[in-house]
Amino acid sequence: MPLDPVPGLLSRATELLEAEFSALPSLAPAADTERMASVLEGVAHRLSDNYPYFHPLYAGQMLKPPHPLARAAYALAMKINPNNHARDGGRASSEMEIEAVRELAGMFGWSEYLGHLTSSGTLANLEALWVAGQAAGTRPGMRILASEQAHYTHHRISAVLKLPFSQVPADHRGRMRMDRLEAELKKGDVAAVVCTLGTTAIGAVDPLPQILALRERYGFRVHVDAAYGGYFKLIPDALDEPARSAYAAIAQADSIVIDPHKHGLQPYGCGCVLFPLHVLHLKTTAPPRQRAEIARRGPRASRRNQPGVLARGCSRRGPVGYPAVFAAFALGGVCPRPCPGPCRRA
Protein backbone atom coordinates (compact mmCIF):
# COMPACT_ATOMS: atom_id res chain seq x y z
CA MET A 1 0.00 0.00 0.00
CA PRO A 2 1.32 3.51 -0.83
CA LEU A 3 1.85 6.04 1.94
CA ASP A 4 -1.41 7.72 2.97
CA PRO A 5 -1.32 11.38 1.80
CA VAL A 6 -4.13 12.53 4.11
CA PRO A 7 -2.02 13.43 7.20
CA GLY A 8 0.19 15.63 5.06
CA LEU A 9 -2.80 17.27 3.38
CA LEU A 10 -4.39 17.99 6.75
CA SER A 11 -1.33 19.47 8.41
CA ARG A 12 -1.14 22.74 6.47
CA ALA A 13 -4.93 23.03 6.05
CA THR A 14 -5.47 22.66 9.81
CA GLU A 15 -2.98 25.45 10.47
CA LEU A 16 -4.83 27.73 8.07
CA LEU A 17 -8.21 26.88 9.61
CA GLU A 18 -6.92 27.62 13.10
CA ALA A 19 -5.56 30.96 11.87
CA GLU A 20 -9.04 31.89 10.63
CA PHE A 21 -10.31 31.65 14.22
CA SER A 22 -7.27 33.08 15.97
CA ALA A 23 -9.32 35.94 17.45
CA LEU A 24 -11.30 33.54 19.63
CA PRO A 25 -10.26 33.16 23.30
CA SER A 26 -7.51 30.62 23.79
CA LEU A 27 -8.05 27.52 25.89
CA ALA A 28 -5.48 25.34 27.56
CA PRO A 29 -5.41 21.79 26.18
CA ALA A 30 -7.64 19.63 28.32
CA ALA A 31 -6.93 16.37 26.58
CA ASP A 32 -4.32 13.75 27.39
CA THR A 33 -2.73 13.37 23.96
CA GLU A 34 -0.69 10.31 24.95
CA ARG A 35 -3.81 8.51 26.11
CA MET A 36 -5.70 9.51 22.96
CA ALA A 37 -2.80 8.23 20.84
CA SER A 38 -2.98 4.91 22.67
CA VAL A 39 -6.71 4.63 21.98
CA LEU A 40 -6.19 5.38 18.29
CA GLU A 41 -3.45 2.77 18.05
CA GLY A 42 -5.89 0.21 19.40
CA VAL A 43 -8.52 1.33 16.88
CA ALA A 44 -6.01 0.98 14.03
CA HIS A 45 -5.27 -2.62 15.02
CA ARG A 46 -8.97 -3.47 15.35
CA LEU A 47 -9.76 -2.01 11.92
CA SER A 48 -7.42 -4.53 10.32
CA ASP A 49 -10.21 -7.08 10.80
CA ASN A 50 -12.08 -5.69 7.80
CA TYR A 51 -13.77 -7.43 4.91
CA PRO A 52 -14.57 -6.69 2.09
CA TYR A 53 -11.30 -4.95 1.45
CA PHE A 54 -11.19 -1.20 0.80
CA HIS A 55 -8.40 -1.47 -1.78
CA PRO A 56 -9.30 0.14 -5.15
CA LEU A 57 -8.33 -3.03 -7.00
CA TYR A 58 -10.73 -5.18 -4.99
CA ALA A 59 -13.77 -5.73 -7.22
CA GLY A 60 -16.03 -7.34 -4.63
CA GLN A 61 -16.89 -4.18 -2.73
CA MET A 62 -19.46 -1.71 -4.09
CA LEU A 63 -18.16 0.99 -1.70
CA LYS A 64 -14.93 2.35 -3.10
CA PRO A 65 -12.38 4.03 -0.80
CA PRO A 66 -13.02 7.77 -0.52
CA HIS A 67 -10.73 10.08 -2.43
CA PRO A 68 -7.87 11.27 -0.18
CA LEU A 69 -8.94 14.88 -0.68
CA ALA A 70 -12.49 14.01 0.40
CA ARG A 71 -11.21 12.29 3.53
CA ALA A 72 -9.00 15.24 4.40
CA ALA A 73 -11.78 17.78 3.81
CA TYR A 74 -14.18 15.74 5.93
CA ALA A 75 -11.70 15.60 8.80
CA LEU A 76 -11.02 19.34 8.47
CA ALA A 77 -14.72 20.16 8.64
CA MET A 78 -15.12 18.04 11.76
CA LYS A 79 -12.84 20.45 13.61
CA ILE A 80 -15.60 23.09 13.57
CA ASN A 81 -18.46 20.54 13.68
CA PRO A 82 -20.96 22.41 11.46
CA ASN A 83 -24.70 21.81 11.76
CA ASN A 84 -26.43 21.98 8.41
CA HIS A 85 -29.96 21.86 9.74
CA ALA A 86 -30.09 25.60 9.02
CA ARG A 87 -27.82 28.19 7.47
CA ASP A 88 -27.31 29.67 10.93
CA GLY A 89 -25.69 26.44 12.10
CA GLY A 90 -23.19 26.02 9.30
CA ARG A 91 -23.01 28.87 6.80
CA ALA A 92 -19.91 27.74 4.94
CA SER A 93 -20.82 24.05 4.82
CA SER A 94 -24.41 24.91 3.86
CA GLU A 95 -23.12 26.81 0.85
CA MET A 96 -20.94 23.83 -0.01
CA GLU A 97 -23.97 21.54 0.18
CA ILE A 98 -25.87 23.78 -2.23
CA GLU A 99 -22.91 23.79 -4.61
CA ALA A 100 -22.55 20.01 -4.42
CA VAL A 101 -26.24 19.43 -5.10
CA ARG A 102 -26.06 21.85 -8.05
CA GLU A 103 -23.22 19.82 -9.56
CA LEU A 104 -25.09 16.55 -9.07
CA ALA A 105 -28.27 17.93 -10.61
CA GLY A 106 -26.27 19.31 -13.52
CA MET A 107 -24.79 15.87 -14.11
CA PHE A 108 -28.33 14.69 -14.88
CA GLY A 109 -29.17 17.70 -17.02
CA TRP A 110 -31.26 19.64 -14.49
CA SER A 111 -30.78 23.37 -13.98
CA GLU A 112 -34.03 23.94 -12.06
CA TYR A 113 -34.56 21.42 -9.32
CA LEU A 114 -35.04 20.82 -5.63
CA GLY A 115 -32.72 18.58 -3.68
CA HIS A 116 -30.42 18.08 -0.75
CA LEU A 117 -27.83 15.76 0.69
CA THR A 118 -28.89 13.00 3.06
CA SER A 119 -27.10 10.63 5.39
CA SER A 120 -27.55 7.69 3.02
CA GLY A 121 -29.07 6.51 -0.23
CA THR A 122 -31.73 4.68 1.78
CA LEU A 123 -33.02 7.88 3.37
CA ALA A 124 -32.88 9.63 0.00
CA ASN A 125 -35.02 6.87 -1.52
CA LEU A 126 -37.39 7.08 1.44
CA GLU A 127 -37.97 10.78 0.79
CA ALA A 128 -38.55 10.23 -2.93
CA LEU A 129 -41.14 7.51 -2.28
CA TRP A 130 -42.77 9.61 0.45
CA VAL A 131 -43.21 12.36 -2.14
CA ALA A 132 -44.72 9.78 -4.50
CA GLY A 133 -47.19 8.76 -1.81
CA GLN A 134 -48.07 12.40 -1.10
CA ALA A 135 -48.54 13.08 -4.80
CA ALA A 136 -51.00 10.17 -4.98
CA GLY A 137 -53.22 12.28 -2.72
CA THR A 138 -56.30 10.75 -1.17
CA ARG A 139 -56.39 7.65 -3.37
CA PRO A 140 -55.94 4.76 -0.89
CA GLY A 141 -53.94 1.64 -1.65
CA MET A 142 -51.72 3.15 -4.33
CA ARG A 143 -48.76 0.84 -4.86
CA ILE A 144 -45.02 1.19 -5.39
CA LEU A 145 -43.54 -1.11 -8.03
CA ALA A 146 -39.90 -2.11 -8.39
CA SER A 147 -37.95 -4.86 -10.07
CA GLU A 148 -37.23 -8.01 -8.13
CA GLN A 149 -33.57 -7.01 -8.59
CA ALA A 150 -34.11 -3.56 -7.02
CA HIS A 151 -32.49 -2.86 -3.68
CA TYR A 152 -34.20 -4.68 -0.83
CA THR A 153 -34.73 -1.45 1.09
CA HIS A 154 -37.48 -0.32 -1.30
CA HIS A 155 -39.78 -2.97 0.14
CA ARG A 156 -38.91 -1.91 3.67
CA ILE A 157 -39.26 1.79 2.85
CA SER A 158 -42.71 1.20 1.41
CA ALA A 159 -43.70 -0.64 4.59
CA VAL A 160 -42.50 2.28 6.72
CA LEU A 161 -44.52 4.67 4.55
CA LYS A 162 -47.54 2.32 4.66
CA LEU A 163 -47.57 2.09 0.86
CA PRO A 164 -48.33 -1.30 -0.73
CA PHE A 165 -45.33 -2.69 -2.59
CA SER A 166 -45.11 -5.19 -5.46
CA GLN A 167 -42.14 -6.71 -7.24
CA VAL A 168 -41.92 -6.96 -11.02
CA PRO A 169 -40.03 -9.97 -12.42
CA ALA A 170 -36.69 -9.37 -14.14
CA ASP A 171 -35.37 -10.86 -17.36
CA HIS A 172 -32.27 -13.01 -17.74
CA ARG A 173 -30.07 -9.89 -17.62
CA GLY A 174 -31.57 -8.63 -14.36
CA ARG A 175 -33.66 -5.88 -15.99
CA MET A 176 -37.32 -5.19 -15.23
CA ARG A 177 -39.64 -6.97 -17.67
CA MET A 178 -41.86 -4.49 -19.47
CA ASP A 179 -44.64 -6.97 -20.22
CA ARG A 180 -44.99 -7.81 -16.53
CA LEU A 181 -44.78 -4.15 -15.58
CA GLU A 182 -47.60 -3.23 -17.94
CA ALA A 183 -49.73 -6.03 -16.54
CA GLU A 184 -49.39 -4.42 -13.12
CA LEU A 185 -50.05 -0.93 -14.47
CA LYS A 186 -53.32 -2.06 -16.05
CA LYS A 187 -54.67 -2.59 -12.54
CA GLY A 188 -54.75 1.20 -12.17
CA ASP A 189 -53.36 1.43 -8.63
CA VAL A 190 -49.69 2.34 -9.15
CA ALA A 191 -48.36 5.55 -7.60
CA ALA A 192 -44.74 5.15 -8.68
CA VAL A 193 -42.36 2.81 -10.45
CA VAL A 194 -38.78 2.53 -9.19
CA CYS A 195 -36.38 2.29 -12.12
CA THR A 196 -32.99 1.00 -10.98
CA LEU A 197 -30.01 2.25 -12.95
CA GLY A 198 -27.33 -0.09 -11.71
CA THR A 199 -28.49 -2.86 -9.38
CA THR A 200 -26.18 -3.66 -6.50
CA ALA A 201 -26.20 -7.36 -7.37
CA ILE A 202 -25.07 -7.37 -11.00
CA GLY A 203 -25.21 -3.74 -12.15
CA ALA A 204 -28.30 -4.26 -14.30
CA VAL A 205 -29.94 -1.16 -15.81
CA ASP A 206 -33.73 -1.08 -16.11
CA PRO A 207 -35.11 0.11 -19.49
CA LEU A 208 -35.98 3.67 -18.52
CA PRO A 209 -37.12 4.85 -21.99
CA GLN A 210 -39.77 2.10 -22.11
CA ILE A 211 -40.88 2.88 -18.55
CA LEU A 212 -41.27 6.55 -19.48
CA ALA A 213 -43.37 5.55 -22.49
CA LEU A 214 -45.66 3.57 -20.21
CA ARG A 215 -45.92 6.60 -17.92
CA GLU A 216 -47.51 8.51 -20.79
CA ARG A 217 -50.19 5.84 -21.10
CA TYR A 218 -50.90 4.99 -17.47
CA GLY A 219 -49.90 8.06 -15.47
CA PHE A 220 -47.54 7.31 -12.57
CA ARG A 221 -44.35 8.77 -11.11
CA VAL A 222 -40.99 7.43 -12.25
CA HIS A 223 -38.37 7.35 -9.52
CA VAL A 224 -34.84 6.56 -10.66
CA ASP A 225 -32.75 4.79 -8.04
CA ALA A 226 -29.25 5.57 -9.25
CA ALA A 227 -27.71 5.30 -5.80
CA TYR A 228 -25.17 2.76 -7.01
CA GLY A 229 -24.99 3.44 -10.73
CA GLY A 230 -25.61 7.17 -11.06
CA TYR A 231 -22.02 8.08 -11.80
CA PHE A 232 -21.95 5.66 -14.73
CA LYS A 233 -23.63 8.46 -16.67
CA LEU A 234 -20.19 10.05 -16.88
CA ILE A 235 -18.78 7.13 -18.89
CA PRO A 236 -21.35 6.50 -21.67
CA ASP A 237 -18.75 4.92 -23.96
CA ALA A 238 -18.28 2.13 -21.40
CA LEU A 239 -21.99 1.20 -21.47
CA ASP A 240 -23.91 -0.98 -23.89
CA GLU A 241 -26.62 0.62 -26.02
CA PRO A 242 -29.62 -0.18 -23.76
CA ALA A 243 -27.80 1.29 -20.77
CA ARG A 244 -26.72 4.39 -22.72
CA SER A 245 -30.33 5.00 -23.73
CA ALA A 246 -31.48 4.66 -20.13
CA TYR A 247 -28.93 7.17 -18.84
CA ALA A 248 -29.70 9.56 -21.71
CA ALA A 249 -33.37 9.61 -20.60
CA ILE A 250 -32.74 10.16 -16.90
CA ALA A 251 -33.63 13.88 -17.04
CA GLN A 252 -37.25 12.89 -17.73
CA ALA A 253 -37.62 11.18 -14.34
CA ASP A 254 -39.76 12.58 -11.53
CA SER A 255 -37.05 12.03 -8.92
CA ILE A 256 -33.49 10.74 -8.77
CA VAL A 257 -31.36 9.37 -5.96
CA ILE A 258 -27.59 9.13 -6.16
CA ASP A 259 -25.13 8.01 -3.52
CA PRO A 260 -21.87 10.02 -3.53
CA HIS A 261 -20.29 7.68 -0.99
CA LYS A 262 -20.16 4.95 -3.62
CA HIS A 263 -18.67 5.92 -6.96
CA GLY A 264 -18.54 9.56 -5.91
CA LEU A 265 -15.68 8.49 -3.62
CA GLN A 266 -16.97 10.54 -0.68
CA PRO A 267 -16.76 9.51 2.99
CA TYR A 268 -19.36 7.01 4.13
CA GLY A 269 -22.81 8.33 4.95
CA CYS A 270 -23.79 10.54 2.03
CA GLY A 271 -26.78 10.40 -0.32
CA CYS A 272 -28.64 12.91 -2.47
CA VAL A 273 -32.29 13.19 -3.52
CA LEU A 274 -33.31 15.36 -6.47
CA PHE A 275 -36.61 16.51 -7.94
CA PRO A 276 -37.05 18.48 -11.17
CA LEU A 277 -38.96 21.64 -10.41
CA HIS A 278 -41.82 20.93 -12.80
CA VAL A 279 -43.03 17.84 -10.94
CA LEU A 280 -43.63 19.88 -7.80
CA HIS A 281 -46.26 22.08 -9.43
CA LEU A 282 -48.93 20.11 -7.62
CA LYS A 283 -51.90 22.48 -7.57
CA THR A 284 -53.93 20.09 -9.68
CA THR A 285 -52.74 16.83 -8.14
CA ALA A 286 -52.76 17.72 -4.47
CA PRO A 287 -55.83 16.74 -2.43
CA PRO A 288 -58.57 19.41 -2.15
CA ARG A 289 -57.62 20.52 1.38
CA GLN A 290 -53.99 20.96 0.35
CA ARG A 291 -54.99 22.88 -2.78
CA ALA A 292 -57.09 25.16 -0.60
CA GLU A 293 -54.10 25.70 1.68
CA ILE A 294 -51.97 26.62 -1.32
CA ALA A 295 -54.57 29.14 -2.46
CA ARG A 296 -54.84 30.57 1.07
CA ARG A 297 -51.11 30.95 1.66
CA GLY A 298 -50.10 32.27 -1.73
CA PRO A 299 -46.40 32.95 -2.33
CA ARG A 300 -45.45 33.55 1.27
CA ALA A 301 -42.10 32.64 2.72
CA SER A 302 -40.70 31.00 5.76
CA ARG A 303 -38.51 33.19 7.96
CA ARG A 304 -35.32 31.78 6.55
CA ASN A 305 -34.21 29.66 3.67
CA GLN A 306 -32.59 26.55 5.09
CA PRO A 307 -30.58 23.74 3.54
CA GLY A 308 -33.02 20.87 3.30
CA VAL A 309 -36.11 23.11 3.40
CA LEU A 310 -37.43 25.07 0.46
CA ALA A 311 -38.60 28.53 1.49
CA ARG A 312 -42.25 29.28 0.74
CA GLY A 313 -41.61 32.05 -1.70
CA CYS A 314 -38.46 34.02 -2.33
CA SER A 315 -37.39 37.59 -2.92
CA ARG A 316 -35.12 36.46 -5.72
CA ARG A 317 -36.02 35.04 -9.08
CA GLY A 318 -35.75 31.30 -9.11
CA PRO A 319 -37.65 28.04 -8.67
CA VAL A 320 -39.61 29.27 -5.66
CA GLY A 321 -43.04 30.83 -5.60
CA TYR A 322 -46.76 30.20 -5.78
CA PRO A 323 -46.74 26.91 -7.73
CA ALA A 324 -44.23 25.41 -5.31
CA VAL A 325 -45.85 26.45 -2.05
CA PHE A 326 -47.21 22.95 -1.44
CA ALA A 327 -43.73 21.55 -2.06
CA ALA A 328 -42.34 24.07 0.38
CA PHE A 329 -44.24 22.89 3.42
CA ALA A 330 -45.02 19.30 2.43
CA LEU A 331 -42.34 17.94 0.13
CA GLY A 332 -39.13 19.65 1.23
CA GLY A 333 -35.96 20.38 -0.71
CA VAL A 334 -33.20 22.91 -1.15
CA CYS A 335 -33.64 26.18 -3.01
CA PRO A 336 -30.71 26.18 -5.46
CA ARG A 337 -30.46 29.96 -5.16
CA PRO A 338 -31.37 30.71 -1.54
CA CYS A 339 -31.52 34.16 -0.02
CA PRO A 340 -28.51 35.13 2.12
CA GLY A 341 -30.72 36.09 5.04
CA PRO A 342 -34.36 36.36 6.05
CA CYS A 343 -36.58 36.30 3.00
CA ARG A 344 -37.85 39.83 2.32
CA ARG A 345 -41.26 38.50 1.33
CA ALA A 346 -41.82 36.89 4.71
Q: What is the pLDDT of residues 249-283, one digit of tens each?
A: 999 999 999 999 888 999 888 899 999 986 554 43
Dist CA 297 CA 12 (whole Å): 51
For the chain, list residues with pLDDT below 50.
281-287, 289-346
Instruction: Taking each helix axis as running N to C, give the angle between helix 68-78 and helix 6-20, from 0 to 180 degrees, rounded to the nearest 10.
Output: 30
> pLDDT at position 298, please?
39
> What pLDDT, on a 0 to 100 scale, did the predictor assign at position 346?
29
Domains of the chain: 114-275 (3.40.640.10), 288-331 (no CATH)
pLDDT of res. 279:
57
Q: Measuring CA to CA, which residue among 313, 135, 336, 346 is closest to residue 222?
A: 135
Burial class (CB in 10 A: 0-12, 13-18, 19+), 43: exposed
Give me the pLDDT at residue 54, please: 78
pTM above threshold 0.75: yes
pLDDT score at 148: 98
Using DSSP bridges, classify how beta strands 113-118 and 271-276 pair: parallel, antiparallel or unpaired: antiparallel
